[in-house]
Structure 1
């Protein structure tokens, strides 16, 4: 009986040990399974993140390629105009929040004898301007080269008719010839047509106005100028009147000419205007210029 009792106790102890071992193995298996699942999920998330990163990188690359292609093709975003020419008085008015205390510099009858030197002065002073060209000043190879130089310095080129007539004294077909043939000639020399038109003596006709619009040019006259008057054909007198005239105001459209005394007065005129707080309007920022 005692021996049988010991046998039964030993069997129970063995069974108990086996059950305990089974529970430990089950827990270990569960932990292993959980680890494998977590690892699997982490791998899947990592793959997804990597795929998203690849897509983002691909999209960015496409954007960069688009920008590069646009640059290669010479495409530019057209800036909004900052100023417009008032058709009633040819002053230049600000659009939106453009600086109103600014003036426009223009040079007529270019490029005669002083045009290139005047352009060089303005370039050195960092002052933009429009050079209004006459056809009879671009007849020779040397005159063509002068026009190219002015244009290559970054100045706007305007149409001032081929032979400087009073448009009201000639018929419409001749008005067309004076304006369009000069546009053709300027384009032949510098590769682009003028963006601005100013009639000789400031005299326009209904026909010339319509033609200028048809040609895609901005029409303007001026607000003041003096260098054709006898008393101002001297640099000091001209500089004084251009800066101290009663007509100087915001948006003034300053008329000067390709003349020796004007070329000499130009630095003092620019300095005087700057001292009065004026900036200089870039013709490219005027409404109607493409």
Structure 2
């Protein structure tokens, strides 16, 4: 699911999907087009010879197992009290999942972290600060991470403490970053994380207006001096008592976190945890679109 953006982009560029011309930055539109074609092709297949059926089947996007790709329904939501990732009622989703998140991106190592995660087929959310998107290098880093299929979240413009700001200044911190991200990637963030986890009444209201789900975390360690080295960080992130179903792991764009990421991914999987794809986590904006 995490790699679907790459699959759809490759198929569109091969011209096998008639009328599907969007790039990998608009994967949701590609899937909607594919679903529409699927319905039309099924009707045609009922009236055509087996040879024609086979020809049309090759035009539909498929997963590795040969099944037709479909837009995934939301399976998870953010617990408003604990910020754990929990299955939506009656979804049948596996509760033993963990979510990887990286704050303060792209501040030097985010692309390298994304490359490591991609090698391990590990989805994640990168929460970005608008101040890192002012330079061409920052814009290109964000564009690269987004095109690799990672979810982009909003972490404000300047990483300011929101309770110290007026409601108007908080709005600027949040909406300006959304606008920057959309200008670079073509998509507005679906998730908001306040710096230091300090939400206010204003930030709650602004996030709701912007169609974003609030997301803090359940645990994290990489800002503490004793865990600012890869071996110690990898060990605590996997062996902590706070690791449980729906764990929402807070990490940052730091060199020691980059170096620990592969071991964290494998350690979580060794303990039976699946890494949840953010595309399966509900947000107000996506819920509105789905209706």
Normalised to the residue count of structure 1, the TM-score between the two structures is 0.74
How far did residue 59 of structure 1 move?
7.9
CA distance in 2, matches of 1:212, 1:154: 23
* 1:207 and 2:205 aligned: no
| Counterparts in 2 of 1:240 and 1:171: CA distance versus 1, 3 Å | same
CA RMSD of the aligned region, Å? Answer: 2.0
**Aligned residue runs from structure 1 range 100-139, under 5 A:** 100-139=95-134
Match of 1:83 among 76, 86, 106: 76
- Larger Rg belongs to: 1
**Aligned residue runs from structure 1 range 255-274, under 5 A:** 255-274=250-269
CA distance in 2, matches of 1:211, 1:242: 32
| Counterparts in 2 of 1:215 and 1:275: CA distance versus 1, 3 Å | same
Deviations 1:16-63 (A, max 9, x none): xxxxxxxxxxxxxxxxxxxxxxxxxxxxxxxxxxxxxxxx979858xx
Deviations 1:50-99 (A, max 9, x none): xxxxxx979858xx9xx99xx9xxxx965321101000010000122111
Partner of 1:9: none
CA distance in 1, matches of 2:208, 2:173: 15
* 1:232 and 2:221 aligned: no
The structure with more helix, counted as a fraction of residues = 1
Partner of 2:150: 155
Deviations 1:144-196 (A, max 9, x none): 00000000000000000000011000000000000001101111111111111
Partner of 1:92: 85
SS at match of 1:192: coil
**Aligned residue runs from structure 1 range 27-66, under 5 A:** 60=47
SS at match of 2:256: helix
SS at match of 1:256: strand
Instruction: Please list every run of 5 or more consecutive structure 1 residues that lacks an aligned counterpart in the other structure.
Output: 1-55
**Count of aligned positions:** 225
Normalised to the residue count of structure 2, the TM-score between the two structures is 0.74
How far did residue 287 of structure 1 move?
1.4
Match of 1:167 among 162, 167, 177: 162
| Counterparts in 2 of 1:113 and 1:78: CA distance versus 1, 3 Å | same
CA distance in 1, matches of 2:205, 2:198: 14
Partner of 1:24: none
| Counterparts in 2 of 1:164 and 1:60: CA distance versus 1, 3 Å | farther
| Counterparts in 2 of 1:176 and 1:57: CA distance versus 1, 3 Å | closer
Partner of 1:278: 273
SS at match of 2:219: coil
CA distance in 2, matches of 1:232, 1:59: 61
CA distance in 1, matches of 2:234, 2:70: 39
